[in-house]
Structure 1
Amino acid sequence: MRLHNRRKVNFLRRILFILCIFLLYLSRDSLRLNTKNVFINPKIAEYNGGTIDDIQILRCYHWYRQCGSLYAPRLHPSTSAERVKDKSSVLWSRVSKNITVESLYSLQSGTFYNSYLYVHMKSFQGNSKNSIKELAMARDSALIPLQVLRDINKMVKSSDSSVFHNHVYRREKPTSSWWKLLFGISVDSDDIAVFGEEWVYKGSGIWCKFILNDDDNDPPIINLEIYLGSSFIESRPFWKEVIHEFHRNNMPSMPISITRKHETKNAHYKYPNKLPGSLEAPDKNNDALRLLQADEDYRITSSHIQYSWGQRSFKILQMTDFHFKCTDNSMSIINEIRTVNFIDRVLALEKPDLVVITGDLLDSQNSMDYQTCIMKLVQPMISNQVPYAISLGASDESNFATLSQIKDFIGNLPYAFNNIASKEGHMAIKVSFNKKLSKNALLEKRVDNNEETSPAEALFFVFDSFNPVNDFLLDYSDLIGKIDYGLAFQYFPLSEYRPRGLFPIIGQYNEKSTLTVETSRCKGEVSMTINGKHYESFLDILSLWNMKGVGCGHEHNNDCCLQSKNDMWLCYGGSAGIDLPRIEGIYPNVRLFNVDDIMDEITSWKRNSIIVDEVYDYQYIYKGE
């Protein structure tokens, strides 16, 4: 009996051994690939831009050394139901996302792996042939994206029957055996049939168009980006969403959006972009042009704004304190959309020449993806081609990114003056009115006459509240005595915002307690020697550049302008975020400033989200003789 049982055990061992050898043989390619990714650490960075010729979703197993780049075979579609796999593996680069927790932007997750979007960089960047020129992604890999179906429908309706053929591609089923989890061996599949020569199915719901010959004038894709959270908005020129708010199996509450960028057609020629003037000239027969120096991606490259001779005023919209979260909370999503609509309405009504945001775009640790929140906020300005400058606040931080990453992202956005900020984060925006007109010339409608004087100059400082200003201001000491109108903006209030006794005030002043900010500048203490004279008051220093007012944020329940020193008005921007807690009688609002060279004045007023079509608290910041 024992001998009989021993023979059974030995027989089962032989069978098990043969099965193991057979499974190892079947999975030899996967084992070789896994071994390569475990022991070889390729020195290649993640994908941050460049021409690509292939794309797919790859699994990064937990035992891999890293997930930034992986070895994997390329899959080539064929006219059969099979996809041809290269025998040799190539190096793939993961599409980069500037947050520290990698699993947050995985497309799929399993017991032993996370899946990410990977691309294969094109070897010869100079030639765009065989590069990917368009992408589409389906929410379900069993479905065909609407963009692909539209293109196919156009081809089917074509009288040239040779432009389409029947192609069948294989899609892996979501169900798989246990060794699929370990070795990636596919066992079941479905077939996807599609008509069309241009679109190619790459698996996992991804469809591509390729540049097939040198005569193809379509630009290639040169960048891909990933965004997390709800209500993402893509508004940048040359960018388009590949998929919007794709809900993943591992994080159903955090949808993911993927967006792509086409190569700029004028990438090799940098020239000044002429943007339409937002204010009419005194002589309506002449168009006022706002001239901005910008590169091919509409990133501002010069701090100087110049107007044609007809433009005589300059309007600034100050917005502050949004505290966007971009999470899955339904009320937060609704209120953030309402805030963006409020900004859009103000831009349509006021048509400002410049927007200044004085901090607290994010809600600190409550904001999941800082990029999604910032993109949502600046979308109205980008869509309306209005330049803007951003001064970061105390809540503009993230658990998943550094402050330098946040600043770099803002600096690369279209129409953002942050691209030319100093190393400390300060900006000085100079505006030139080419021909200064007197009031008499305006009233008599004599534009070209002998009363024209030298051009008027305006200067607008946007300060980073967390960094010193001494070196920055010294760089602009040559403008002292040459500025006709000046305004300054920063996030934190100043000690002079807490005046004593009687002082002029317009608006609501509710937060009067002692400032808790410990920076020397917020206390009004800036020790500088300029042109041989020593100064220790920040407002005294700003007066050298003829600053007529200072705007700030930070305090949600103050929206007033008050005057405390040197005839300089100190103005709170209020708070624009609709879901912020406020005391009764304070509503989400924005502040506007208008510099009028003809009337020789600077005025200010406000709009709020309750009665956005009406202005209130209209006042003079400066009134000339």
Structure 2
Amino acid sequence: MARRIVRTGLQLILITLFIFLAVVFLDNRFRVLPTSIHGHLPMHYSGFVVTDVTITQCSSLNPFSNCQLDPDSWHRVEKDLYLRTGWTSTAYVQFQRKKEEELGPEDKVLVDLKISRLTPPSEYTAKGETEAWEQRPGGIWLKRTASRHASDSGKAVTYIDVLFGADAVDPRPNWEIKDTPLLLDSWTENLETRLSIRRGNPTKMKKPVPRINDNGKFKVMQLADIHLSTGLGVCRDPVPAEIVPGHRCEADPRTLDFIERLLDEEKPDMVIFSGDQVNGETSPDAQSALFKSVKLVTDRKIPYAAIFGNHDDEGDLSREQLMNIYEDLPPEDIDGVGNYIVEVLDRGKSQHSALTFYLLDTHSYSPDERQFRGYDWIKPSQTRWFKNTAQSLRRKHQEYTHIHMNMAFIHIPLPEYRSEGKYFNGHWDEAPTAPGFNSGFKNALEEEGILFVSCGHDHVNDYCMLERDDNDKPSLWMCYGGGGGLGGYGGYNDYVRRVRFYDFDIGPGRVTTYKRLEYGMTEAKVDEMIIVDGGAVKGPDESA
């Protein structure tokens, strides 16, 4: 009897253990971890400090070489330091880290890191002791301290990242990019492979709230097709070839100089990146490319929003990963990545929305090349989301004491951008590369009272075209931003890069648009015109 009870008890234990293991297996089998989305982007674990850094190299010709140290104690930055250009070699930065409360007497905390061929000069502590530098591969020098207090002093290094390019920047709070590239060999020096270190715990960027100015005005700068690369980039069809004689064109520095000049002169209240911020074909590290555009606005504390073009995700990052860089803008359960609204609040402390910007993902290339060649189109789920959102906000917007206005931004133009015989202002220098299939989104825009839609994609088209309804009443402006980047094509009719602006004046419910040029008429507002007045779409002869 006793044996039977013991046997039954053991059976129950085994059955319970089997069920537990099955649940664990199934749970792990179907769980989607955050890292599966974010890939090699830095993971932010609060409370960790870095205790050591090194570089590992391995060769495809040597089956015994291994670029992965013990994963239980070493974290590898998943970026090949050669950007996958080495014929047979790969190399990775790896670092050790521990939670602050787990630091033992034998552990040292990293408090500084330098890149140098020579030993950095020693420094003296407050006690008169000399702090020595420790050498690691690639010209890395570490300063570590055994003091437990170093982990919470603000000096402790808590994360390491890798960026590329002579013009690499890091817009993240508490991050510091090293001026000198890694000195592993000529490859890393030519690629300008750089380390960026974070001190302290991760700090979430506080997004500035877009709000109408006290004078009732609000200015939007649309940056279309800036085509930034990993590194300096290559100029395509620059006009002129050299702004300063003898200084050859470098795409990204010249593009960024142009944008910075306009940011400082125009002082926009918001920047909208309307796609192809990254030139995927020349961005083996898209993070480095995208950081350059983000830093322009974060340094100036300018609110911004972004959608993607067909080239953004042709590098090493997906649209989901790119959107993660753009501060985790909220995804929607609809087709595409980056369908959302931005509400611009009224002046003062009002919580009423004065302007609503709808931003939608126009995807990339046609899913059915045989029937509809070219580019993709806005899907029915996106149209439903747009209409439902607009209708749900209508009552709230009607409570606004002035005229509430709605606008939309996309990357790839709608098929109606091909329409001829309609009024337009600007340049039509290439055939609009709109989708071959018309999903009817233009009609949805008109039905929900959108005043204008602005796109990019076709770099040398910069016109605004007027749509009219069945009663010949102006119903919608369809505009191009005009390509702004030297890394994208521009080879038609001596095309000068340009940027479009939209000026909103809440009092009369008016919108004025114009462009600024990189070269030539650099101080002039080109093709300036009123497109909305009294909160309604206005034609060229109907504006006040």
TM-score (norm 2): 0.72
Equivalent residues of 1:137, 1:243 under 8 A apart:
no
Q: Which amino acid aligns with 2:141?
A: I
Could you tell me whether the CA contact under 8 Å between 1:105 and 1:116 is conserved in 2?
no
Matches within 5 A, 1:459-474: 459-466=356-363, 468=379, 469-473=382-386, 474=388
Secondary structure of 1:345's counterpart equals: helix
Q: Which whole-Å deviations, capped at 9, do the CAs of 1:466-525 have from their partners, x for residues lacking one?
A: 263134322443113526111110101112212232x32221122246x4524x5xx2x2
**Number of the residue aligned with 1:207:** 142
1:384 matches 2:300 = yes
Q: CA deviation at 1:260?
A: 1.3
Aligned to 1:134: 111
Q: Deviations over 1:298-335 (max 9, x none)?
A: 154x9x74558x35222110011122233476768722
Higher mean alpha-carbon deviation, 218-227 vs 247-256, is at 247-256
User: Which one-letter code corresponds to 2:394 in the other structure?
Assistant: I
Relative distance call for 1:58 and 1:226 in structure 2 (3 A) is closer
Structure-2 change in CA distance of 1:435 and 1:237 (3 Å): closer
- Counterpart of 1:479? 393
Amino acid at match of 1:319: L
Matching residue of 1:253 = 190
Distance in 1 separating the partners of 2:466 and 2:523: 28
* Equivalent residue in structure 1 for 2:43, among 41, 48, 70: 48
How far apart are the structure 1 equivalents of 2:482 and 2:104? 50
Deviations 1:533-554 (A, max 9, x none): xxxx423322344321111001
Whether the 8 Å CA contact 1:319–1:576 is kept in 2: the answer is yes
Is this contact kept in 1: 2:462–2:480, CA < 8 A?
A: yes
Counterpart contact for 2:178–2:195, Cα < 8 Å? yes
Which residue of structure 1 aligns with residue 242 of structure 2?
none
- Assess if the C-alpha contact under 8 Å between 1:57 and 1:115 holds in 2: no
Distance 1:104 1:120 in 2: 22
1:504-583 correspondence runs (5 A)? 504-512=423-431, 515=433, 517-518=435-436, 520=437, 523=438, 525=439, 537-566=440-469, 567=474, 568-579=476-487, 580-583=489-492
Which structure 2 residues correspond to residues 13-24 of structure 1 after superposition, within 5 A?
Answer: none
Q: Which moved more, 1:334-343 or 1:363-372?
A: 363-372
**CA shift for structure 1 position 247:** 5.3
CA contact (8 A) 1:224 1:258 kept: yes
1:386–1:431 distance in 2 versus 1, CA, 3 Å: same
Q: Is the 8 A contact 1:345 1:612 kept in 2?
A: no
**Distance of 2:527 and 2:434 partners within structure 1:** 28
Shift of the 59–455 alpha-carbon distance from structure 1 to 2, 3 Å rule, reads: closer
Measured in 1, the distance between the counterparts of 2:278 and 2:514 equals: 26
**Counterpart residue number, 2:408:** 488
Alpha-carbon distance in 1 for matches of 2:53, 2:523: 49
User: Following superposition of structure 1 onto structure 2, how do residues 117-132 of structure 1 map, counting pairs within 5 Å?
Assistant: 117-124=93-100, 132=109
Q: In 2, Cα distance between the equivalents of 1:328 and 1:317? A: 24
1:363 pairs with 2:257: no
The 1:120/1:615 distance shift into structure 2, 3 A limit, reads same
Secondary structure at 1:486 match in 2: strand
Q: Tell me the distance in 2 between the aligned counterparts of 1:263 and 1:324.
A: 30
SS in 1 for 2:169: coil
Given that residues 50 and 156 in structure 2 are in contact (C-alpha distance below 8 angstroms), is that contact kept between their aligned partners in structure 1? no
Distance of aligned partners of 1:57 and 1:605 in 2 relative to their CA distance in 1, 3 Å threshold: same
Change (3 A) 1:132 1:613: farther
Structure 1 pair 462–125 and aligned structure 2 pair: CA distance change class (3 A) = farther
- Residue in structure 1 matching 2:220, options 316, 331, 339: 316
Secondary structure of the residue that 1:397 maps to in structure 2? helix
Structure 1 residue aligned with 2:230: 326
The amino acid across from 1:318 in the alignment is Q
Tell me, yes or no, if the aligned pair for 2:497 and 2:517 is still in contact at 8 Å: yes
Question: Are 2:326 and 1:411 aligned?
Answer: yes
Distance apart, 1:390 and its partner CA? 1.6
- Alignment of 1:607 with 2:510, yes or no, is no
Q: Where does residue 67 of structure 2 map in the other structure?
A: 67
Could you tell me how far apart the structure 2 residues matched to 1:591 and 1:325 are? 22
Q: Which has the higher contact order (CA 8 A, sep 6+)?
A: 2
RMSD: 3.5
What is residue 78 of structure 2 aligned with on the other side?
Answer: 96
Moved more, 215-224 or 463-472: 215-224
> Contact (CA 8 Å) 1:56, 1:202: kept in 2 or not?
no
1:58, CA displacement in angstroms? 4.1
Query: What is the distance in 1 between the residues matched to 2:445 and 2:516?
Result: 27
- What's the CA shift for 1:594? 1.5
Alpha-carbon distance in 2 for matches of 1:328, 1:603: 35
1:11 corresponds in structure 2 to none
Distance 1:202 1:54 in 2: 14
Q: Deviations over 1:572-625 (max 9, x none)?
A: 000001253321242111000111111320111111111433222111120118
8 Å Cα contact 2:180/2:194 also seen in 1 = yes
User: Within 1, Cα distance between the matches of 2:111 and 2:450?
Assistant: 50
> Is 1:344 matched up with 2:260?
yes
Partner residue in 1 for 2:497? 588
Secondary structure in structure 2 of the residue aligned to 1:457: strand
Letter in 2 for 1:578: L
Equivalent residue runs for 1:444-455 within 5 Å: 455=352
Q: What is the CA–CA distance in structure 2 between the aligned matches of 1:305 and 1:324, rounded to whole Å?
A: 26
Question: Structure 2 counterpart of 1:377, which letter?
Answer: S
Check the 8 A contact 2:82/2:90 in 1, yes or no: no
Distance 1:312 1:510, change over 3 A: same
Q: Aligned to 2:490, what secondary structure does the other structure show? A: coil
CA distance in 1, matches of 2:274, 2:103: 44
What is the aligned partner in structure 2 of residue 57 from structure 1?
54
| Alpha-carbon shift at residue 133 of structure 1 (Å) | 5.4
* Equivalent residues, number: 441
Q: Deviations over 1:423-476 (max 9, x none)?
A: 53212001121579xxxxxxxxxxxxxxxx995621001111126313432244
Give 2:526's match in structure 1, choosing from 616, 621, 625. Answer: 616
What is the alpha-carbon distance in structure 2 between the residues aligned to residue 456 and residue 396 of structure 1?
31
Distance in 2 (CA, whole Å) between partners of 1:456 and 1:57 is 51
Q: Secondary structure at the match of 2:314?
A: coil
Q: How does 1:287-306 map to 2 (within 5 A)?
A: 296-298=203-205, 300=207, 305-306=210-211
Shift in Å at residue 403 of structure 1? Answer: 3.8
- Counterpart of 1:488, as a letter, is A
More moved, 545-554 vs 62-71: 62-71
List alignment gaps of at least 5 residues for structure 1: 1-44, 72-89, 165-195, 268-295, 413-417, 437-452, 526-536
Measure the CA separation in 2 of the matches of 1:125 and 1:476.
Answer: 50
Is residue 2:507 matched to residue 1:598?
A: yes
Separation in structure 2 between the aligned mates of residue 585 and residue 331 of structure 1, nearest angstrom: 14
Q: Deviations over 1:227-270 (max 9, x none)?
A: 12332122332110135433542525312011012224xx7xxx
Q: TM-score, normalised by structure 1?
A: 0.63
Alpha-carbon distance in structure 1 between the residues aligned to 2:321 and 2:284 = 14
Q: Report the Cα distance in structure 2 between the residues aligned to 1:477 and 1:384, rounded to whole angstroms.
A: 35
The structure carrying a bigger strand percent of its residues is 1
Counterpart residue number, 2:32: none
The whole-number CA distance in structure 1 between the counterparts of 2:329 and 2:65 is: 36
- The aligned amino acid for 1:504 is Y
Aligned counterpart, 1:78: none
In structure 2, the CA distance between the partners of 1:329 and 1:430, relative to structure 1 (3 Å rule), is: closer
Q: Residues 399, 240 of structure 1: CA spacing in aligned structure 2 closer, same or farther, 3 A cutoff?
A: closer
Contact 1:229 1:369 in 2 (8 A): no
